[in-house]
Amino acid sequence: MDEFPCSDKLNEQRPYEEIIQWWNVPYVDELTYEETGEIGVCVLDGATWDGPRLISEHATFEEAVAAANFYVNHSDIWRRFKEPYQPLAKVDHLIDMSSFIHGKLAKMDEEQLFEYMFHWLPKVNKTATPVLEAS
């Protein structure tokens, strides 16, 4: 399965194989050109619950490829397609809202919030723990 993740599927309903291949992998999506007139760089990273997130848009394919490479080379969370999968998610913007998300007055810590929101992410192995990345 080397196809890009479809944009109209809930992340938690994706097959494990698709998540393991595409999670946190920036990719160039030329189909965004039809909608916006620019070529998009997208990533499946959980920041949007219902599909890949548009990171940036560019005038040319070359600019989009350069941007995708920049993201991979300058972030601890994004990876190249062939690099090993890790269950990471960037949800720092939700930590302050976690009391509303969870329905309690107490704020969750990072690990609790990650488990609550991303319990469906495949585990790497039995000893691996999910990592929450703050920006």
* 135 band by pLDDT with thresholds 50, 70 and 90: very low
3-7, 46-50, 89-93, 108-112: segment of lowest average pLDDT:
89-93
Higher-confidence position of 131 and 6? 6
Res. 114: pLDDT tops 90: no
Tens of pLDDT, residue by residue over 49-100, are 788 989 999 999 999 999 999 999 998 889 999 999 989 887 665 655 555 5
Distance between start and end Cα atoms, the chain: 31
Tens of pLDDT, residue by residue over 14-57, are 999 999 999 999 999 887 777 788 999 999 988 877 889 899 99
Mean of the pLDDT values across residues 98-115?
Answer: 66
pTM of the model: 0.75
> Domain extents for the chain?
11-74, 90-121
Mean of the pLDDT values across residues 119-125?
Answer: 85
